[in-house]
Structure 1
Amino acid sequence: MNDNEKTEIFVTGGAGYVGSHSILELLKNGYSVVAVDNFSNSKPGKDQTMPESLKRVQCLAGKELTFYEVDLLNKDSLKQIFQKHTFSCVVHFAALKAVGESCRVPLDYYRNNVGGSVNLLEVMQEFNVKRIVFSSSATVYGVPLYLPIDETHPVGSTCTNPYGRTKYFIEEILKDVSKSEKGWSVILLRYFNPVGAHESGIIGEDPHGVPNNLMPYISQVAVGRLKELMVFGNDYDTVDGTGVRDFIHVMDLAEGHVSAVKEILTAEFKGCTAYNLGTGKGYSVLEVIKAFEDACSVKIPYIIVDRRDGDVDSIYADVSLAEKCLGWKSKRSLKQMCEDTWRWQSKNPIGFRT
């Protein structure tokens, strides 16, 4: 047994898109993983004991993980898990994450995202687990004051949607907790727009209902599940009028989480630090559509519709701090993001369902 195998990592929201890919990388790096999920955006496997995404992760990793079906709003269930295990670190993904939906049902987002995080932190405190890597978001920056955005950019004051505000509030809670009590180590990973899938095509993004994000929407149009892509607005102040985003391959993002776990487990790391995870380059919606068509030889029909509430013109990252401090940088191109997305979707036209 290597040292990492003795290190148990507790992962919330582990069956989701970024969570499942990150767990795969944690397992490949030798860590032991205990994951929880409430199936709000994942599907159970055939035997109903574990999400299908995590069953496939085990196959890819050639290693088992421990799974519990738990909602973070159920504090007693969380405590029972902490009584059974000795965790070195928590990686916190669990959250509702649709920008548009958060504008329609904000209370659901505050209750789930903020309330669940407070429960988690209280249980961590009770069991003296004081290291946490938090899955935050570039939405905490709100309307960009300058580009590329670095970690010193103001956060919170211009958040454009309740989802982003929940991430900002949780960041502030984590900062306050780390100041209030010695021994806490917190890494805030502000990542930009995850896309792509594992290169095998065995796991990928499988949202419930109509996708809220661009790439799964494109791929579902390409595979015939949806008739056409809706492009939300073409009057932004960008190169072609459509929104510009920093798209990052989910496997680069997963490797970034492993880098953060390695860093937070060192004796030297203390306090609370934020890192951007992105590519440092922005692509417009129309540029992504063209790249997908070129990479996959599939025509994507689309229509222009009204803007969505809460969307900004352009946002992309300055990622130099993560490279300097975590030794991490993205490696995969937009072409590979599109190819891997298509491999996943074409192999799994209805996602994890059979």
Structure 2
Amino acid sequence: MKITIIGGSGFVGSRLIEELKKSENNILTNIDKQKSPFYNNITTIANVLDKEAISQKLAGQDLVVLLAAEHRDDVTPKTLYYDVNVQGMKNVLEAMDDNNIRRIVFTSSVAVYGLNKKNPDENHTVDPFNEYGITKWQAEQVLEEWHKNDSSKNVNILRPTVIFGERNRGNVYNLLKQISSGKFMMIGNGNNQKSMAYVGNIVSFMKFLIENKSVGYNVFNYIDKPDFTMNELVLHISKVLDKKIPTTKIPLALGMLGGYGFDILAKISGKKLSVSSVRVKKFCATTQFDAGKVSKTGFVPPFTLGEGLERTLTYEFVEKRTDADITFITE
């Protein structure tokens, strides 16, 4: 199968290429606006905003995996979310039509449901609270219309929760680093559940979709179960690192006040800071999602959530590495 990953130079894409290369029958191509740190030999440079370039590079392909997106909390200008996530989807689908490519795997997000929802499944009401979630939902709607026009096409949409793993430099890494350093203060009571997904399981499920879901329009939440509460996460980290972690807690209202203060500092300084009111809000939110549909497919994740966390913690904070400079910045 000739598979093109669009946006495969990043965190998930690099691991997906590694996973797909395990099947000798796969012929892989990566299209990205930047070089790949590991797979430059199969990477060509192009931007999803350039439909003509994407169309030329998709010639002869069988399936597209669309990973390219604007996803950080602090993207400016905000119109970039719409340009890349929505218009980029339109450009890719037009390029696929130009080349008679009828299969796509798209990574959306549980952000389409919004915050503090009660364990939403794939049929839950959509209620995104930020531009990222809004534009991911709009991209899904574009994709749904594309499929309605020809139901023989195959669409697989993956809505993952926050993804973590080795080399990632996003919110989960920042949280793990802060907890492991001992300079951590819990905001709120710590009983809020935090859904997470280990990158090794995400890419394994994407490979599963490619190999087993070749017909229809399919949407899947992806979460590694069971969910940890923040208190359980801190306890797990302390056991893996064999380190006593302080359990100081501050009220949510005080934490949000601090977040607003950092918002003001960021606006005055023009710098992107690691703390903001949005990130405090997300930290204290319950992010729990239903993943029953995935389990019904027969897919078995290769790692438990605890194992994924242990692999990440050991890699990042225990082992000595010579290639520590190769990292990926995400949310």
**TM-score, scaled relative to structure 1:** 0.74
> Which residue pairs with 2:4 in the alignment?
10
CA contact under 8 A between 1:90 and 1:132: conserved in structure 2? yes
Q: Is the partner of 1:273 in helix, strand or coil?
A: strand
Root-mean-square deviation (CA, aligned residues, Å) is 2.8
- Within a 5 Å distance, the mapping from 1:268-283 to structure 2 comes to 269-270=215-216, 272-283=217-228
> Which residue pairs with 2:292 in the alignment?
320
Q: Deviations over 1:94-116 (max 9, x none)?
A: 11222x325x6421211122122
> Which residue pairs with 2:32 in the alignment?
37
- Within a 5 Å distance, the mapping from 1:169-318 to structure 2 comes to 169-197=138-166, 204-205=167-168, 207=169, 211=170, 213-214=171-172, 216-221=173-178, 228=183, 233-234=187-188, 240-241=189-190, 243-265=192-214, 269-270=215-216, 272-298=217-243, 305-306=255-256, 308-309=277-278, 311=282, 313-318=285-290
> Which residue pairs with 1:133 in the alignment?
105
- Which 5+ residue runs of structure 1 have no aligned equivalent? 1-6, 40-49, 56-64, 198-203, 235-239
Q: In the TM superposition, what is the alpha-carbon distance from 1:243 to its structure 2 partner?
A: 4.3
Q: Distance in 2 between matches of 1:280 and 1:154?
A: 22
Q: Distance in 1 between matches of 2:87 and 2:13?
A: 20
Q: In the TM superposition, what is the alpha-carbon distance from 1:117 to its structure 2 partner?
A: 1.5
Q: Deviations over 1:231-286 (max 9, x none)?
A: 6x42xxxxx34642211221111110001111233xxx12x221111124322334
Given the superposition, is the C-alpha separation of residues 165 and 315 from structure 1 closer, same or farther in structure 2, using an over 3 Å criterion?
Answer: same
> One-letter code of the match for 2:213?
I
CA contact under 8 A between 1:92 and 1:132: conserved in structure 2? yes
Question: Sequence identity of aligned pairs in percent?
Answer: 24
Q: Distance in 2 between matches of 1:160 and 1:82?
A: 34
Q: Is the partner of 1:165 in helix, strand or coil?
A: helix
Q: Is the partner of 1:315 in helix, strand or coil?
A: coil
- Within a 5 Å distance, the mapping from 1:57-136 to structure 2 comes to 66-83=42-59, 86-98=60-72, 100-102=73-75, 105-136=77-108
Deviates more, 1:343-352 or 1:87-96: 343-352
Given the superposition, is the C-alpha separation of residues 242 and 68 from structure 1 closer, same or farther in structure 2, using an over 3 Å criterion?
Answer: farther
- Which 5+ residue runs of structure 2 have no aligned equivalent? 260-276
**TM-score, scaled relative to structure 2:** 0.79
Q: Is the partner of 2:29 in helix, strand or coil?
A: strand
Q: In the TM superposition, what is the alpha-carbon distance from 1:333 to its structure 2 partner?
A: 2.8
Residue 161 of structure 1 pairs with residue 138 of structure 2: no
> One-letter code of the match for 2:203?
A
Given the superposition, is the C-alpha separation of residues 295 and 175 from structure 1 closer, same or farther in structure 2, using an over 3 Å criterion?
Answer: same
